[in-house]
Structure 1
Amino acid sequence: MQREVDADFARYVRARQHQLLRAANLVCGNGPRAEEVLEQALATAAGRWHRMRDEPDLAVRRLLYRDAVSSRGGRVDAHGVLAALTPGHRALLVLRYFEERSEPQVAEVLGGTVPEVARETSAAVTRLHELYPAHDVTELLDDASGGVDEVDLAQRAWDAALAGRRLRRRRVASTVAGLAAVGVVVAVAQGAGRVGPVPAPSPTTTTSKPALQRLPDGTMYAAMPLEGEEDGLPDFDAGLPSAIDPEGRTVRLSTLSSPPGSVVAVYLRRAATHYRAVLVPADRTQVLVDTLDLLPTRDSGGNEGEPLGAKAISADGRYVVFAQPRAVVRLDLRTGAVDRYAVPAPDLLVAGWRAGSTVVARTAGEAWSLDLSQPSPTAARSAVPVALTRGVAVPVTDLAGETVTAGRWAASGAYFDQDVTSPVIVRGNGPIYQGLVAVDQDARAGRVLLAPESPDGRTGRVKECCTVLAWADPSTVLFRSSGYDGSWVLAWNVETGRVYDVTRLDEGGGVDYPHAVALAVGSRG
């Protein structure tokens, strides 16, 4: 990639940047956030310009709209009209009436089918006309975005792409420099006849830093590598494929004579205004569940989420459950049957299996349980779990994702008190404000896994980067780590502090938001 901005790239950006920035403002509703979303999309395009320069429009719009729809950066104020719509419906209207794209073109950008686009666009227009029958949609969108000033993003996007490339090269170089030492370790382990994913330490290593150390407040901690350096970690075999590609080839469930029956993971794909589940068998093509449309979850504040939790797959691997407004939906992986169970809450956030046939569904402050072995299960109020870190002396300010338990250990994603973590920042690295916390429930003592940020301030991990998925064994937790360079399943041994690479989940590239994923391996209590 050349240092000077490519002339064709600059011409392309400057011919479209104002229109695209107006579109981003309409969808995500926040000026600075819209500019950031567009710059990120163009930076990704700059890094791939040698491959996409002939036909960049579709790829750029996919990047832009996917990130804009996922944004929670604010609300649009166009006489109060667009603020009443979901980001997905805004995106549909902006593409159809502001950018004047055809329904097949909209389907290409947002995903889904042409009938789905037509149906959801009609619903969005109907909603507008119910509220404001005198408004013309095209005129409304033009007026709402008319005050957006043009910003020259060509050079900024090119510079961001160069910065990302330099950072990745530095990471590769540091990884290669450590391969010789890793090779010695592996050789010693193999020579001793050791079997398993964890490499044995070299007995001659006396100067390496221990994996577990102590923060200034006395909390034991381990540290993850910088985001983008996961390939340099030793491998851990958790029964998953080495990579799961959320953009990869799928077959539709409706075309199969029977579902795959057994899967190792499930993740979600966005399709216009809804989600569809994708089943990941161990050694077969992924299966798109086109027979079930899932709505986003929405909390009491209106913020959208993904309806798949870490505990969504039953212990026997037969069922997957999803949180929906006022319901839990169960998919049978052996028959393809879908069942819906009423729950008296419009703002359900997550559903997951507890013991046996019991499913627990939760909002931010309430919980319900359903015994699905019963002929007609009825939702009963259930106790809301106590926060994992209550009464435990750890520098955690908040938790992220679900708490998953195995034996005496329980773990969750976490946010940290930076006054405590800042003294242990490695020179040249960025701040440390998130990661994992694990609590020994017998001893009521905790330890943390720190996720240091990249030093450039532009790349690095996304907010809520690290969420727990399962326990591979009583002392090794599997978790999701997501950032600029992609998304991974990693493993952390809470006893030794060591971190391992399990599975790569996606290509990354700076703008991809994480896909919700649930595993069918290990313990998910």
Structure 2
Amino acid sequence: MGGPSRDEQEFVAWARSSVAGLLREAGHGRVAEQQARADVHEALVLVAVRWGVLRHEEPLAYARRAMHRHRTHPGSRTTPSPATSDLDALVDSAWRTATTRRRAGRRRGAVVAAAVVAVLGIGFALGPDAAVEPVPAPTSTSEGPGRPVVLGGAQVDRLVPAEQLGDLPRHPDPGSLGLGATLGWTAGADISGLPRGGLSQPVRAVALRRVQGRHRAHLVLRLTGTPTPYVEVEEVLTSRVVGEPLVLTGDMIHPDRDRVAVPQPGRVVLVDVAGGRTRDIPVPDDRLSTLGWAGNGDIIVRGESTWRISGSRVRRADPQVSPAPEELVLRPDGRLERSSYAGTGDLVGGETMPGPVGGVHGETVSDIAGWSAAGVWLPQWATAQLDGSYQGVYAVQVDASPRPRVLAAADDSTVMGGLVPLDWGPADQLLLLSRSALGTWVLVWDVHTGTTWRVTEVLGQPPPGSQPAVGEMVGSPVL
């Protein structure tokens, strides 16, 4: 047998030089040594899984983000770290675990690919002229209507109609997702303010609540593990920016889930939940509309220009920077591209992805295992073969998945743009928001088996197309 590969040698050298520092960071806040080792082990595993990409980026920033996410997302997939104080053994275990996970992902891919070949014969066409071919049902029962199909190189699952969402089975382990049976409040509910001493519980969800006055709102935070799960931040925000409704995104929540940043004309409002205070960061731009936290802790905010906020320092940034680790973008020539960004937000590469996609909307939601998902519009040729379905969610895992996945919404009362990804849960399960005239649900979609579950019913929203009354939710919540 040969010696270690070049990838293994490079990873081990990097990890052995970084592991002691990561353990010191993980141990802050009086975290038990065993928990700190588990957090660092899982972070190293996830870096090792993606080493072919991360070696050219900032593996340390990625490891820190993975370490914090492992602690703040209960139920994350993990492999126990070795019961030894030997740091070299911790690194070696991380590489072995990553190798096992990569092989498991490829085995999943091989099973699906073999099934497709068995059904389709020697080959199959991809694109507008391709026939819709069924994929044999997965081992796990899919709760969607009928078997998945392959379209344009992607496996397409179909979501049940909106009126049947409440009949979907409940998720078997909602505690691992940090959500209860409902998310939201009644219009007249009295919600406590953010205490001056702050709160140590992580932020699970953020929403806007209308207050008295034209286009005025407060932030409402849904916290994890508190007797009073909702906190209202009594900083008046405008709910319209640049003439459009302010749209919250999950990128506005810091990866540590202890801070939230929101763009406003000429300023960024920073809510320090742990410190119990808010502050304004002035930005010389009255058209600020979107922002997110980069992996290195900077805030990237867009308006008439693109800006980078490092602490209290504000400076212009390259328009190509992004706070997200990946973005799915439809290029003018019709190519779907998955762009990758370093922890600083700088573009480091891009790859063309297959799939029936005619447009992308909203944010791209990524996880530490390399999955990315975004809301998409389906092209006409696909709509014609999916009983009129024109929108859905696209998910792809470049390193291990055999092919992209699409969950197509039924052509029913689901509002336009009403099926969007929110967050990734454990075991490659994607949390989605589905909004229709019949109500709003947080669902979970297993991208491997195609199974969908209901998790949470969203309360306090007006009907689609109606203006919220004072006390009601403005827009939709984000995770």
Matched, 1:241 2:180: yes
The DSSP-based 3-state class of the residue aligned with 1:396 is coil
Larger-Rg structure = 1
Shift of 1:516: 3.1
Q: Letter of the 1:243 partner, please give it.
A: T
- CA 1:295/1:448 → structure 2, altered by over 3 Å: closer, same or farther? same
1:329 & 1:507 partners in 2: Cα distance? 24
Unpaired runs of at least 5, structure 1:
1-200, 426-430, 455-459, 520-525
Find the partner of 1:212 among 142, 145, 148: 148
2:381 & 2:290 partners in 1: Cα distance? 32
What do residues 489-512 of structure 1 show as CA deviations (whole Å, max 9, x unaligned)? 111122222212121112667445
**Map of 1:175 onto structure 2:** none
The normalised TM-score by structure 2 is 0.56
Paired residues, what number? 300
Answer 1 or 2: which has greater helix percent: 1
Matched, 1:461 2:461: no
The DSSP-based 3-state class of the residue aligned with 2:257 is coil
The within-5 A match list for 1:321-400 is: 321-363=261-303, 367-372=306-311, 376-382=312-318, 383-385=320-322, 387-388=328-329, 389-390=336-337, 391-400=352-361
- CA 1:206/1:477 → structure 2, altered by over 3 Å: closer, same or farther? closer
Q: Letter of the 1:401 partner, please give it.
A: G
**Map of 2:451 onto structure 1:** 498
**Map of 1:452 onto structure 2:** 410
- Asked if 1 retains the 8 angstrom alpha-carbon contact of 2:221 and 2:230, the reply is yes
The within-5 A match list for 1:33-52 is: none
- Asked if 2 retains the 8 angstrom alpha-carbon contact of 1:492 and 1:498, the reply is yes
**Map of 1:227 onto structure 2:** 162
- Asked if 2 retains the 8 angstrom alpha-carbon contact of 1:227 and 1:453, the reply is no
Find the partner of 2:376 among 391, 414, 424: 414
2:149 & 2:240 partners in 1: Cα distance? 39
1:397 & 1:285 partners in 2: Cα distance? 43
- CA 1:377/1:446 → structure 2, altered by over 3 Å: closer, same or farther? same
Shift of 1:264: 2.3
- Asked if 2 retains the 8 angstrom alpha-carbon contact of 1:483 and 1:508, the reply is no
- Asked if 1 retains the 8 angstrom alpha-carbon contact of 2:297 and 2:310, the reply is yes
Q: Letter of the 1:490 partner, please give it.
A: L
- Asked if 1 retains the 8 angstrom alpha-carbon contact of 2:418 and 2:433, the reply is yes
**Map of 2:395 onto structure 1:** 438
Find the partner of 2:365 among 404, 422, 435: 404
**Map of 2:216 onto structure 1:** 274
The DSSP-based 3-state class of the residue aligned with 1:247 is coil
- Asked if 2 retains the 8 angstrom alpha-carbon contact of 1:297 and 1:347, the reply is no
- Asked if 2 retains the 8 angstrom alpha-carbon contact of 1:321 and 1:330, the reply is yes
- Asked if 2 retains the 8 angstrom alpha-carbon contact of 1:366 and 1:384, the reply is no
**Map of 2:73 onto structure 1:** none
Q: Letter of the 2:184 partner, please give it.
A: D
Shift of 1:340: 1.9
**Map of 1:423 onto structure 2:** 385
What do residues 445-472 of structure 1 show as CA deviations (whole Å, max 9, x unaligned)? 5321101122xxxxx1112102221111
- Asked if 2 retains the 8 angstrom alpha-carbon contact of 1:392 and 1:445, the reply is no
What do residues 40-92 of structure 1 show as CA deviations (whole Å, max 9, x unaligned)? xxxxxxxxxxxxxxxxxxxxxxxxxxxxxxxxxxxxxxxxxxxxxxxxxxxxx
Q: Letter of the 2:357 partner, please give it.
A: V
What do residues 261-298 of structure 1 show as CA deviations (whole Å, max 9, x unaligned)? 42322211122321111122344335453530111343
The within-5 A match list for 1:174-323 is: 212-215=148-151, 217-236=152-171, 237=174, 238-247=177-186, 249-253=189-193, 256=195, 258-262=197-201, 263-271=203-211, 272=213, 273-282=215-224, 283-299=226-242, 302=243, 304-323=244-263
**Map of 1:45 onto structure 2:** none
2:142 & 2:231 partners in 1: Cα distance? 51
1:344 & 1:205 partners in 2: Cα distance? 54
Answer 1 or 2: which has greater strand percent: 2
The normalised TM-score by structure 1 is 0.51
What do residues 98-123 of structure 1 show as CA deviations (whole Å, max 9, x unaligned)? xxxxxxxxxxxxxxxxxxxxxxxxxx
1:206 & 1:284 partners in 2: Cα distance? 36
The DSSP-based 3-state class of the residue aligned with 1:504 is strand
Unpaired runs of at least 5, structure 2:
1-136, 330-335, 338-351, 468-473
- Asked if 1 retains the 8 angstrom alpha-carbon contact of 2:269 and 2:278, the reply is yes
Q: CA RMSD in A?
A: 3.2
1:474 & 1:206 partners in 2: Cα distance? 16
